Chains A and B, each alone.
Chain A
Amino acid sequence: MQTHIISLLVEDHPGVLTRMSGMFTMRGINITSLTVSPCEKEGLSRMTVAIDGSEQELEQVRKQLSNLIEVVKVVDLKEDEAIVRDLCLMKVHVKDSNARSEVMQLAESYGAKIADAMLDSVILELTGEPKKIDRFVELMKHFGIKQLFRTGVTAIGRGVAGGIER
């Protein structure tokens, strides 16, 4: 099992998301993260899908996605060939001024921003590679995370080719 990131260029039609996610359901594959957004071409959207699975499952998914009529392009992004980012917003409990300064120090060392501050909590914002965010989240658990929001990964291929097109 390994995390794979698939970048899709799809027609911006109603139902495309259902069609795409339905394909995963049909094949018994769980989506770990999904983002949808407009892209550089009008009328098209970009989806970034992360799944856990074997190479063989990935190959099957790639082909089945290509078979969907509204999918224009399927790109399999390898981690070392792509810039992968996730955005995280979390509300961390700070019980006293000690905790507050500790949280703020750690946030600074991770490059996280203080988005808002209350008497008993702070809202932190961090953008980065998913693994970096995982580590930061682990660290903040020590203080008590009240709420955690992550956007899920988005990714762009390095260089001209921009990932391996199948």
Chain B
Amino acid sequence: MTGEKLKGAEIVVEELKHEGVEVAFGIPGGVLLDLYDVLYQDDALRHILMRHEQCAAHAADGYARVSGKAGVCIATSGPGATNLVTGLTNANMDSSPVVALTGQVPTAAIGSNAFQEASTFTITMPVTKHNFLVTRTEDLPKIIHNAFHIATTGRKGVVLIDLPKDVLATRVHVELHPKETFASYKPKIKPNPIQVKKAVEALVNAERPLILAGGGVISSEATEELRYLAEFLGAPVVTTLMGKGSIPENHPFSLGMAGMHGRLYANRAICECDALLAVGTRFSDRLTGWQLDQFAPEATLIHVDVDAAEINKNIQVDIPIVGDAKLALQELIKWLEKKRATDMGSNVWVQRIKAMHSACEACIRDVQREGASLSNMIIKELSRILDDEVIITTEVGQCQMFAAHYYLTKKPRTFISSGGLGTMGFGFPAAIGAKVAAPDKRVVDLAGDGSFLMTCHDLATCVENDIPVVVCIFHNCYLGMVRQWQELFFDKKYSGTRLGTTPDFVKLAEAFGCYGERVEKPGELKDALDHAFESGKPAVIDMIVGQEDKILPMIPPGGSVIGMIGTEQCKLI
């Protein structure tokens, strides 16, 4: 062992930099003084001080989803760590690679109910892919290396490292940058060739093949392969919420998002197909509806997923392929090409897809469509105004589903939304992370007034750190999605959903030092967005929409993909 002794905190920072970490979102605290002392002296690792730990986790999550690299967040012991939990759960549920560092009371005090002590290790166990409680400074290099390895490989996820104060303060001789990984962690990423050949056979024999793309396609950078396969097979692509961006939604074979608030024709295609190739999706209930026997009833189901535990979990499939989405798609393409058959989807099917695609696109382009609500017109206008490079993040609820349904996403990693957990307050801090990951891109958070108020304090973070994101609020004075359900299924009894007096969001923005503007007509939106971007400041655009606007069509509770309600707005073909 050579060289001088290093402090635990120095080891942490050295190893973070070695793992390629450039930025961390966090809030310090008593037990983290040693770590922050090292960060103070180190310019290579940027620390962004957030105003709430939940936002630190969401920002790290947003950063990860946009960059494809692990996002890092830091929180102190006790309340700092417990505040992180929502953000970590959210990231883990959407398989987003995040590494969280938490401070902990000194090892000798653990279990004594010390000041700001919480059992972060046990609290975060069920909401992370893995977590560590470090008890010896010497273990730090190996643990940090493994944390990043676990977070970013296989099915990606969250890894938390709990760091007691004495572990950070102790000086030891230690070998940095170990390469050793855990023997028991070997994610299976190479697909089984026998299964691939079975899938190829099923796809070749299908007359109406369909591809269902989930977040795994984006996560494994398989979007090029997906598009090639769709064109080669003559198979349309429907996506999950997490899969939005896996194929350009203006591509003639794209039918948009399927599921509960998905497009009518995306769900129709699921019902009509005779072979369904599902890639990187876990068949969540928001996709399948509740009557599983009506989900792709005529289809041979092929399921590609890197997590073997997702196979046959929510839906029984015919041909499972466990492996990385990119590798699996490459293998499928290789074997399909050997069959030398192109345009295997029947011509009738391809024509039908194109007609369905055009019907949806015409509906989206038609901003002033008769009977359209203000929310509806605004989201269509946004889709028209914002270019392909803009990164959209969303809050959760109506604003999110308006965005998922109507906003045409053209590129992967430009639509960032809380899928599995459905966390209100996610979109804005995720936008902060997105903007830090891609400073040259414009980042817009599509928010609701209810959601935005959950995390809006981090406008201060944006101003202080010069992170000019734009928040567009669908301002309807209600918790809109729950209100919509109360309107449709609970006799319009708006219990606990009326927000009443909402803040003046323009003044709120200005109070933080941001740019603010109100929009009362969709036609004013373009100018407001121009002003917001030109201001160079973080901005809030307060978009006044109808209080009883609804996002339709939808699958009603208990329904199936074939039983959507509120389809009057859809162009029927």
Contacts and interface: CB of A to CB of B under 8 A. Distances in A.
Interface of A: 11, 14-15, 18-19, 22, 25-26, 56, 59-60, 63-64, 66-67, 69-72
A14 B309 contact: no
B570 interface: no
A110 to B, nearest CB: 41
B122 A18 contact: yes
A15 B184 contact: no
Given A11-B184, A15-B133, A67-B307, A22 B313 contact: no
Q: Describe A's contact surface by its main secondary structure.
A: helix
Contact of A69 (B122, B150, B311, B312): B150
A64 B309 contact: yes
A66 B184 CA distance: 9
B122 A63 contact: no
B185 A69 contact: yes
A59 B309 CA distance: 8
B126 A72 contact: no
A15 B126 contact: no
B308 interface: yes
B182 A69 contact: yes
A14 B130 CA distance: 13
B309 A67 contact: yes
B313 A72 contact: no
Contacts of B126: 22, 25-26
List the 5 shortest-distance A-B pairs measured between CB atoms, nearest first.
A63-B309, A72-B184, A69-B130, A69-B185, A64-B309
Contact of A15 (B121, B150, B185, B312): B121
A14 B133 contact: yes
B312 A59 contact: yes
B122 A15 contact: yes
Contacts of B133: 14-15
A18 B184 contact: no
Contact of A60 (B122, B150, B309): B309
A27 B123 CA distance: 17
8 contacts: A18-B122, A19-B125, A60-B313, A63-B309, A66-B308, A66-B309, A69-B130, A69-B184
A70 B133 CA distance: 14
B573 interface: no
Contacts of B311: 63
B130 A22 contact: no
Nearest to B322: A63
A70 B309 contact: no
B183 interface: yes
Given A22-B125, A69-B130, A56 B183 contact: no
A63 B311 CA distance: 9
B183 A72 contact: yes
A18 B183 CA distance: 21
A56 B312 contact: yes
Interface residues of B, number: 18
Nearest to B310: A63
A46 B185 CA distance: 17
Contacts of B307: 67
Nearest to B316: A56
A70 B184 contact: yes
Nearest to A166: B308
B255 to A, nearest CB: 31
A63 B308 contact: yes
Given A11-B184, A18-B125, A19-B125, 12 more contacts: A11-B182, A15-B121, A15-B122, A15-B133, A56-B312, A63-B308, A63-B309, A64-B309, A66-B308, A69-B182, A70-B182, A70-B184
A67 B307 CA distance: 8
Contacts of A71: 184
Interface in B125-170: 125-126, 129-130, 133, 150
A15 B160 CA distance: 14
Nearest to B154: A67
Contacts of B184: 11, 69-72
A64 B133 CA distance: 22
Contacts of A72: 183-184
Nearest to B308: A63
A69 B121 CA distance: 15
Nearest to A14: B133
B125 A15 contact: yes
Interface string B409-435: 000000000000000000000000000
Residue from A18, A66, A67 with most neighbouring chain B CB atoms (10 Å): A67
Contacts of B125: 15, 18-19, 22
A5 B313 CA distance: 20
A64 B182 CA distance: 18
B420 to A, nearest CB: 14
Nearest to B188: A66
A45 to B, nearest CB: 12
A25 to B, nearest CB: 8
A90 to B, nearest CB: 34
Contacts of A60: 309, 312-313
Nearest to A60: B313
B282 to A, nearest CB: 13
A81 B185 CA distance: 28
Nearest to B155: A67
Contacts of B308: 63, 66-67
A42 to B, nearest CB: 13
Nearest to A63: B309
A26 B311 CA distance: 18
Contacts of A11: 182, 184
Nearest to A56: B312
Nearest to A25: B126
Interface in B282-318: 307-309, 311-313
Contacts of B122: 15, 18
Nearest to A73: B184
A11 B132 CA distance: 13
Contacts of B313: 60
